[in-house]
Structure 1
Amino acid sequence: MVTATPFLMFEGKAEEALTFYCETVPGSRILSVERYGPGEAGPEGSVKMARAAIAGLEVMASDSYVRHAFTFTPSLSLFVNCTSEDEQSRIVEGLGNGGGMLMPLDNYGFSRRFAWLNDRFGVSWQINLP
């Protein structure tokens, strides 16, 4: 069976980001972390490949050992449906800390409470209360 999984490429912050997401979004956990060893392409100890379940969605991540001229873009985001206003407010506050708000928490007509933000790692999140 063919599968598709979101893949997040960081430059040295993969484990920090996944840990932060798992602490911030309920029902999330790190599934596995594989690190570069001595003599491998990436810096020893950095994340070669990691997997996490973020609110039930499996996400893969790695630390790129190649510097690149691009980063994340809001045109691709992780969409989270919350079950309460308190939960949503906590997630928006947590993920938004050190990041940037694209659409502050509000009623936009298509949702009674919605926020869109970039976290401090540059990953874009849409946080919804249906």
Structure 2
Amino acid sequence: MSQKIVPNIWFDRNAGEAGEFYAGILPGASAHVSATYPDDVADWQADFAGEALTVDLDVDGYLLTLINAGSEFRPNPSVSFMLNFDPLRFDGDRDAARSSLDAVWAALADGGTVRMELDEYPFSPRYGWVEDRYGVNWQLILTSPEGESRPFLIPQLTFTEAVDGKAREAAVFYASLFPDAGVGYLAVHPPQSTGAEPGTIMFGEFRLADQWFSMMDGGPDHDFAFDCGVSLEVRVADQDELDHYWDALTAVPEAEVCGWLADKYGLSWQIVPENMGELMERPGAYAKMMEMKKLIIDDF
């Protein structure tokens, strides 16, 4: 089954460079330009005419799309990417898994910002959280081969500020919209917790369209929240399916533009047809898209 939900990450004119960087350091990764700006863009986008618009990054079979745009947005820790270094992926060799984790960590930390030091923690013998040179946040963890298998890459949503405490509610809501979905393991902050509201989510998992996500309540006092720096692109078969996700998710009218929306938690989504590449090859398609809020397939 093809990947239905594709995280999109916003870059400031350097998505191509970033794609090459990630392809060079992440196990089983490759990158290629998947779309370019047309030559007849609006005046305010003139510098991008003919340049890369999106770069597809394949990480061990998981697709991320890097958006080549301007400085309007930047990724932040509200959406990070878990990298699960399972010894079973290294023929059961725990030392090889750890060495691979350490090598990726060193590359991501170079020019970046360490948010949690790479160290031993109660939940893992090797874990760290780093924001790389492009502002993308990664959590690297050495997992147990005895545990339940998880994909190498899993997006994590961190609910902060006004939506702190909403992680469980959001996971249930999202799971109600997608096929092959459900809420999995949940760990909550205990009554004696300090720095977090007891009962809020310390770590949780959920599936949407048979894809794993994780989530946590991050607290009300952070200086970051969901925005367009990272969005979730949902690929749909037809207008009816597009309408289904759009109508269920959109909650901020001023955020509706070119197929983008923000939901009631502030998380950004893009609801786009599976054949978007084909649609964009039609005469005047880019200009038509720029005039739309919800995408209308027949209007391309």
TM-score norm. by structure 1 comes to: 0.88
Helix, strand or coil for the counterpart of 2:129? strand
Give the aligned partner of residue 118 of structure 1.
131
Contact 1:12 1:46 in 2 (8 A): no
- Larger gyration radius, structure 1 or structure 2: 2
Count of matched residue pairs: 128
Give the counterpart letter for 1:16 in structure 2: E
User: After TM superposition, what 4+ stretches of structure 1 lie above 4 angstroms from structure 2?
Assistant: none
Residue 2 of structure 1: how far off its partner (Å): 8.4
Q: Which moved more, 1:112-121 or 1:77-86?
A: 77-86
Distance in 1 (alpha carbons) for counterparts of 2:4 and 2:25: 26
Query: Pairwise mapping of residues 10-49 of structure 1 onto structure 2 (< 5 A)?
Result: 10-41=11-42, 42=45, 43-49=48-54
Contact 2:3 2:63 in 1 (8 A): no
TM-score norm. by structure 2 comes to: 0.40
Residue 52 of structure 2 is aligned to residue 51 of structure 1: no
Residue 8 of structure 1: how far off its partner (Å): 0.6
Give 5+ residue unaligned stretches, structure 2. Answer: 88-96, 144-300
Residue 36 of structure 1: how far off its partner (Å): 2.0
Residue 129 of structure 2 is aligned to residue 128 of structure 1: no
Contact 2:55 2:68 in 1 (8 A): no
Give the aligned partner of residue 85 of structure 1.
98
Distance in 1 (alpha carbons) for counterparts of 2:60 and 2:108: 14
| Higher RCO structure (Cα 8 Å, ≥6 apart) | 1
Query: Pairwise mapping of residues 63-74 of structure 1 onto structure 2 (< 5 A)?
Result: 63-65=68-70, 67-68=71-72, 70-74=73-77
Instruction: Please identify which structure carries the higher helix content.
Output: 2
Q: CA RMSD in A?
A: 1.9
Helix, strand or coil for the counterpart of 1:95? helix
Contact 2:19 2:32 in 1 (8 A): no
Aligned with 1:60 (options 33, 57, 65): 65
Helix, strand or coil for the counterpart of 2:124? coil
Give 5+ residue unaligned stretches, structure 1. Answer: none
